[in-house]
Amino acid sequence: MTLFSLLLFILSYALFVQQDLVFIFLVVGVLFLHEFGHFAFMKLFRYENVRMLFVPLMGAFVHGKKESYNQWEQVLVILAGPIPGIIIGSVMWYYGFTGNIAVLKSASSILLILNVINLLPVQPLDGGRLLQTLFLAKSSLLPVVFTLLSSLSLIAVGYYMEWYVLMGVGFFMSFQVRNQYRSYLIHKALREQNVNYTGTYDELSNGDYHFIKLEMLENTPGLKKYLDLSNDPEADQMVAQEVNLLLDPAVKLNVGILSKVILCLVWMAAIVLPTYLLLQAKF
């Protein structure tokens, strides 16, 4: 799947963006380096089913999951993508511009630009994920508002730059906002009933499953109507999958206030310093 998605990315980029093969392979190399950082740290922290996929005309992502999460591990997995790219890009920038080496100039610029953009505090970028991991508790309404603002920002920027794929991502995220808000309402109702919805599906008691199922159907009228009218023997499996999606994996919150301050300073430096280098190169 990784190789297939990579070929699709190269083909779509060559057809619609840029036909220069050297530039295309530089972009692919930068994306691979970035995503490999996420991939390596996910493997290090024993995430399961870790996969790297390229998205035509957009970029790439790595997906994996665990039964329980550690806040520090999540932060390191996020930063393992952009930080190595910024460090390598800065070194290449120095040797490229002091030695006037064209390939190093191009590679360093792509490394710095893509990784700095990726650190902006907007979902689904690494900066948005970092902001949510450090400061936005899943049980609150803030992640829903943050995703909504990110969606509107992507639509606005995509429209202004006439980058319609980016607008499409923004519209796609608007559906995520709806699902997040539905999950928020269900979780809020479950907390009021003292129903445990954290942990894994296998750990779920029959009683908790029953209450989660009732709240899920109450907040999903389309599915409830379908189940009422359907004699599908796989209906129970469908409900079980929906209940599983509503469960919140346990997260150990172990990043203290001082660590958050330091991480924010590193985050800001990783945006400001490469931006300064790029401006120096321009002028």
Check pLDDT > 60 for residue 283.
Answer: no
- What is the distance between the alpha carbons of residues 174 and 144, in angstroms, rounded to a whole number? 10
Would you call the peptide bond into 143 cis, given omega within 30 degrees of 0 as the criterion? Answer: no
The pLDDT, as a whole number, for residue 230 is 67
Check pLDDT > 90 for residue 196.
Answer: no
Which whole-number Å values give the CA distances from 191 to 73, 138, 171, in the listed order? 27, 13, 31
Q: Among residues of the chain, what percentage have pLDDT more than 70?
A: 95
The pLDDT, as a whole number, for residue 139 is 64
Choice between 272 and 166, residue whose per-residue pLDDT is larger: 272
User: Of how many residues is the chain composed?
Assistant: 283
Choice between 66 and 79, residue whose per-residue pLDDT is larger: 79
Check pLDDT > 70 for residue 99.
Answer: yes
Q: Number of helices (H) and strands (E), helices first, in the chain?
A: 12, 4
Check pLDDT > 80 for residue 144.
Answer: yes
What average pLDDT does the structure give for the chain?
86
Span 168-185, average pLDDT: 85
Span 63-92, average pLDDT: 92
pLDDT-derived band at 170 (thresholds 50, 70, 90) equals confident
The pLDDT, as a whole number, for residue 102 is 86
Amino acid identity for residue 127 in this structure: G
The pLDDT, as a whole number, for residue 57 is 78
Check pLDDT > 60 for residue 92.
Answer: yes
Element (H, E) at 252: strand 250-252
Span 221-238, average pLDDT: 74
From 49-53, 148-152, 236-240, 254-258, the region with the lowest mean pLDDT: 236-240
CA dihedral 166, 168, 170, 174 (to 10 degrees): -170
Burial call 156-165: b when 16+ CB within 10 Å, e when fewer: eebeeeeeee
Element (H, E) at 256: none
pLDDT-derived band at 85 (thresholds 50, 70, 90) equals very high
The pLDDT, as a whole number, for residue 58 is 80
Three-state SS for 66?
A: coil
The ranges assigned to domains in the chain are 2-134+251-282, 193-246
Place of tokens 């590679």: 107
- φ, ψ at 125 (rounded to 5°): -70, 165
Span 252-263, average pLDDT: 92
The pLDDT, as a whole number, for residue 32 is 92
CA dihedral 84, 90, 92, 93 (to 10 degrees): 150
- What six digits make up the tokens of 50? 């870790």
pLDDT digits (tens, 9 = 90+) for 13-70: 788 776 678 888 888 899 999 999 999 999 999 999 999 999 887 888 999 988 888 8
- What six digits make up the tokens of 4? 């297939």
- What is the distance between the alpha carbons of residues 271 and 283, in angstroms, rounded to a whole number? 19
Three-state SS for 114?
A: helix
From 3-12, 180-189, 221-230, the region with the lowest mean pLDDT: 221-230
- DSSP class per residue in 177-227: HHHHHHHHHHHHHHHHTT---BS-GGG--HHHHHHHHHHHHHT-HHHHHHH
- What is the distance between the alpha carbons of residues 93 and 100, in angstroms, rounded to a whole number? 10
